């Protein structure tokens, strides 16, 4: 119970008790001449009414279970730059000797690493953390969304996202549609198109896409963005964005990650899901139904928006290398290839604890999909449309989960799909020359 509510109850109870006491006193004077005993009883009841206020007020003031904090409260304090700086510094002190040894080995054997060292001049903390990410990363069997990206747009000094593990998606499953980026930078889209969310034929120089419920957004090679589809909440108002290195789309909002580690958002903000302007040191960002999750450089996450089902539970996680947001659940990928999930689990979509050797994750409305390092996939959750029937897939390099369908990109550029096909959102067999490598 909040302090304001407690004060209101106290005032109201005082008025009631006093009014009751006054009524008893009036009756006492009324019967004083006729029946003295009855008059004394009314006076006693008046005193009791006044005295009862004390224990009642104590009950109201007694501590109760803490309520869920407001969605925008204290996030900036909990995940402030000072906290991140302290945590990162302590970690780097403990790993300093090991990092120096590994750095010497890589510098002797890898001219690419030496070129990168000469090319950028980050702050000492971020530079060492970035080197650690590069040196300890194992090369996966295929390209996946967890591979380190070195896009030209991200090739800037003092860029926190310089070594971000994933830069976005070349395939994406939305609410009732699917989109994919071709090698030439065009975008193919199929499915429900009542709001024009599939009108992407004229787009060029696209490197990444994101699909919401009824809109599609794209990241261009020059760091600008474009969007199409339903814009009732302003979720397509991304035309003035610049310096973006990653985008994500929720039900009716769109978020972007800048190359300096800050974020921007537009669209529905009913649950404060767009209040991410104060985020710093972000290396990846995802959007759920009506909430937003950011992954920090130190492997922790920050969240805003709806938390009715515990979607923010991941704020206590650590050592996270990737994160996915569904309708009412959030999934995290640990650096060791294991997974963790929080939020609504009514359909078993959070039952991911036994998964191993995972290199990428995706979350739909009520299902979760993972890509293993060997190119196979696994899924959990609601399977009413067959959206979890991915066990036979092989050679997969990227995955995405929509409302009730799942899509995957193979190493030869083909797009696989299973699940709800009511609006032909799984009609991806016509897709060809889809982008599987980064440029």
- Is 365's pLDDT higher than 80? yes
Strand partners, 42: none
- Give the bridge partners for 173, in sequence order: 178
Calpha distance 267→249 (Å, rounded): 10
* pLDDT over 70 at 126, yes or no: no
pLDDT surpasses 90 at 250: yes
Number of helices (H), then strands (E), in the chain: 7, 21
Q: Which of 194, 204, 238 is closest to 246 using CA atoms?
A: 238
Query: Which one, of 258, 277, 278, lies nearest residue 154 by Cα?
Result: 258
Q: How far apart are CA 30 and CA 246, in angstroms?
A: 80
Average pLDDT over residues 108-114: 45
Dihedrals phi, psi of 396, to nearest 5 degrees: -80, 140
Residue 82 has pLDDT above 50, yes or no: yes
User: What's the pLDDT at 4?
Assistant: 57
Banded model confidence at residue 386, pLDDT cuts 50, 70, 90:
very high
pLDDT at 24 over 80: no
Q: How far is CA 13 from CA 22, 50, 52, 253, 391, in A?
A: 14, 10, 10, 45, 63
C-alpha 294/C-alpha 286 separation (Å) is: 7
Looking at 174-300, which runs of residues are DSSP E strands? 177-181, 187-191, 206-211, 215-220, 225-229, 244-249, 253-258, 263-267, 282-287, 291-296
List strands edge to edge, sheet with 171-173. 171-173, 177-181, 187-191
Confidence at residue 32, expressed as pLDDT on a 0 to 100 scale: 73
Give the other-Cβ count within 10 Å of 138's Cβ.
Answer: 8
Q: Cβ(280)–Cβ(288) under 8 Å?
A: no
**pTM of this prediction?**
0.65
* Average pLDDT, rounded, for the chain: 79
**The pLDDT value given to residue 54:** 66
pLDDT at 226 over 60: yes
How far apart CA 301 and CA 303 sit, in angstroms, is: 7
Q: Is 227 helix (H, G, I), strand (E, B) or coil?
A: strand
Per-residue model confidence as pLDDT tens digits over 204-219: 999 999 999 999 999 9
Measured CA to CA, the distance from residue 264 to residue 75 in angstroms comes to 16
Q: Are 252 and 233 in contact (CB under 8 A)?
A: yes
Task: Please provide residue 127's backbone torsions phi and psi, each rounded to the nearest 5 degrees.
Answer: -60, -45
Q: Please give the average per-residue pLDDT across 25-48, as a whole number.
A: 76
Least confident of 60-64, 68-72, 217-221, 229-233: 68-72
Whether 367 contacts 352, CB under 8 Å: no
């Amino acid at each position: 119970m909040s302090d304001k509510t407690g004060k209101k109850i106290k005032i109201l109870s005082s008025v009631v008790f006093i009014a009751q006491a006054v009524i008893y006193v009036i009756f006492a004077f009324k019967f004083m001449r006729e029946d003295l005993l009855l008059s004394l009883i009314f006076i006693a009841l008046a005193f009791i009414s006044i005295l009862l206020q004390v224990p009642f007020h104590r009950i109201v003031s007694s501590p109760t279970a803490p309520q869920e904090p407001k969605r925008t409260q204290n996030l900036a304090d909990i995940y402030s730059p000072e906290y991140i700086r302290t945590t990162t510094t302590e970690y780097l002190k403990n790993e300093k000797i090991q990092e120096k040894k590994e750095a010497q080995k890589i510098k002797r054997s890898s001219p690419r690493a030496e070129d990168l060292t000469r090319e950028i001049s980050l702050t000492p903390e971020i530079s060492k953390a970035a080197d650690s990410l590069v040196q300890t990363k194992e090369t996966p069997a295929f390209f996946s969304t967890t591979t380190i990206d070195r896009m030209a747009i991200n090739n800037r000094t003092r860029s926190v996202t310089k070594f971000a593990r994933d830069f976005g998606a070349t395939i994406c499953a939305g609410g009732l549609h699917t989109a994919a980026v071709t090698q030439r930078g065009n975008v193919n889209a199929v499915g429900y198109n009542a709001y024009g969310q599939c009108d992407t034929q004229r787009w060029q120089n696209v490197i990444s896409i994101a699909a919401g419920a009824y809109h599609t957004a794209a990241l261009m090679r020059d760091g600008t963005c474009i969007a199409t589809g339903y814009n009732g909440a302003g979720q397509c108002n991304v035309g003035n964005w610049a310096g973006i290195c990653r985008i994500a789309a929720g039900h009716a909002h769109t978020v972007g990650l800048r190359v300096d580690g800050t974020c921007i958002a537009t669209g529905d903000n009913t649950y404060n899901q767009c209040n991410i302007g104060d985020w710093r040191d972000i290396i990846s960002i995802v959007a759920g139904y009506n909430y937003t999750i950011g992954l920090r450089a130190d492997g922790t996450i920050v969240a805003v928006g709806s938390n009715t089902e515990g979607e923010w539970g991941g704020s206590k996680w650590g050592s996270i290398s990737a994160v996915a947001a569904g309708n009412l659940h959030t999934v995290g990928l640990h650096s060791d290839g294991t997974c963790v999930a929080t939020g609504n689990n009514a359909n078993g979509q959070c039952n991911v604890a036994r998964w191993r050797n995972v290199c990428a994750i995706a979350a739909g409305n009520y299902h979760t999909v993972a890509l293993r390092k060997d190119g196979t996939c696994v899924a959990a959750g609601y399977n009413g449309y067959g959206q979890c029937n991915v066990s036979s897939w092989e050679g997969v390099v990227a995955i995405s989960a929509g409302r009730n369908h799942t899509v995957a990109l193979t190493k030869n550029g083909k797009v696989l799909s299973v699940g709800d096909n009511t609006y032909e959102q799984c009609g991806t067999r016509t897709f060809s020359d889809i982008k599987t490598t980064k440029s």
